[in-house]
Chains A and B, each alone.
Chain A
Amino acid sequence: MTAVGWLQILAFAAVIFAVTKPLGSYLFRVLEGERRPLERLFGPLERALYAVGGVDPRREQTWLQYAGALLAFSCFGLLVTYAVLRLQAALPLNQQRFGGLSPHLAWNTAVSFSTNTNWQSYGGESTLSYFSQMAALAWHNFTSAAAGIAVAIAMARGFTRSVPEGGARTIGCFWADTIRAIVYLLLPLSGIVALGMLATGVIQNFSPYLEVTTLEGAKQVLGMGPVASQEAIKQLGTNGGGFFNANAAHPFENPTPLSNFASLVLIFAIPAALTHTYGRMARDARQGWALFAAMALLFFAGVSVAYWAEARGNPAFAGLAVEPGAGNWEGKESRFGIAASALYATVTTGASCGAVNSMHDSFTALGGLVPLFDIQLGEVVFGGVGAGLYGMLVYVVIAVFLAGLMVGRTPEYLGKKIEAREMKLASLYILLFPLLILGFAAWSAAAPYGVSSLANAGPHGLAEILYAYSSAAGNNGSAFAGLAADTPWWNTTLGIAMLAGRFLMIVPALAIAGAMVGKKVVPESLGTFPTHGALFGALLTGVVVVVGALTFFPALALGPIVEHFLAEAGKLY
């Protein structure tokens, strides 16, 4: 580890801290304000979309209607994407004349993008036409991110609204929330960022692939395409699906340390800002900062371990006559180095982004454990756009409940009682996740059609399996990419895990919002457990870690943890 390495990490944290309040306030005004900011600029487009869609933005929905709208929208998105990918050969902007995708690959990819996962079973530059990249994938980067923000805001409304006796128990209008997130936030910011990315060297064209003769006279074919427009929203929306197979390690996606730093900021910006939006909605900014603090604590713990482990290097190289202590360079890019790669891995998995600037599969055992465990914590270390906040709010319900148990008092949060129904829904949310990950992982580890896709043997092979289903169920999308996932078994089951990990978790989250919204607000008393201080922040962090560790520690012990000790002992597979 070096001072310059830490400086990059701290500078990144400082920038995120600095954007949280202004961006969070802006989002609050966009989604909750009587009048939206910059309405003269964005209002016409917003109203045009309402008109085309037949949306009445003032028509509020109950949680069930809200969930129904989300599911219908996602369902159409899934079907359109599947059709585009299958019919790719007949659609425009297909300079390389790629054929349609196989049914299982099209299913996997369509689910992957509809669920904001962006798992890559496909290999960008060798599989997808420019039209598929734009219309099937970049489009979903906007809509799935906007839907995530919508769900988070809806859930926040459930906790923070006080509905008068007999009033409507509604949590907002899904269409208005989604459209506003796109028009006021995602689209304009993506446009600006894409131009900045362009300046650093990210490409943006519709040329056919370019064949060049290299300096030594060999042929090299350069993949082309509209990358900058996609790269911007891919990071901002914590989508993470790469235009190219190597994702943000590819120099056309992420050419310089500056584009890399900007990407990192973009990934965390909205998730961090949403904690402040939430604080504003709760009419107590400290409530938001408490969540922020818990997330920041987990982030620093993760990045410290990852950076330390990667800086130590590969123990298997110790016997080779190379520069000692230079770090684990396998699968990392020279322009980023160890610190920026470890930081990126922690950020992309803390958020449910899944873009990578280095190959997690080649990380050391403990360095790779960090991104894996970050995902398994439910991606609440700032988390996906929206998904991080609603995931953390579920943990809040559990933390408050535990605190209530400890003192023998009915738990309250923001003045509303947490009762059996909310706890059952929160438990459902928490339990579904390990069921998907461990269930599918156990099956794949025991089946020949599962293990035949592994690139690494020994405990690292198990880590590849665990990572794949964690990434899918957590809607992350990064991978221990040695796993050859483009097979019927992997494509199909990862698709199921992604779908369940998104919608079977959003529905209970919205149901909690629906249950909470109608509750009476009881005034604060001496017995109220404050949920804005350091004590609550520590309790919340503890709950996240304990739930995650209790659930996944046995599996991790058989994978990365034993791998660490074997690697230190010089064992090879």
Chain B
Amino acid sequence: MVDSIMVVEDREPIAEVLRDMLTANGFSVVALATTGKEAMEKFSEERPGIVLMDLLLPDMNGLEVTERLIEMDPSVRVIAITALSRDGLIEDALKAGCIRFIAKPFRMKELVGTIREICGP
């Protein structure tokens, strides 16, 4: 059984292409969210197993949203994706509960490889 995925990304074109890409690679994308608030609402409805979390959201910090999602469901696996490059960001993301960190821009194989890896055989 392939895990269901939610994409949290404030730039819609990126969110859409991510959905297309993941679907084409056999994953089930159950929700797209462009804000932190929307992410929390859709998460509680859909309960996806994996969340791709952009750390720069218009209303909330992606790390804060990650913590809230993990509070709702500790088994969720969050992959941080970000264009930020400040020192210590990876450590902060891991502390917030993200299990992987992908820097933008990334290649399809990097993202798909990471998701397959955390889904297991």
Say if A and B assemble together.
no
Q: B-contacting residues of A (Cβ < 8 Å)?
A: none
Q: A-contacting residues of B (Cβ < 8 Å)?
A: none
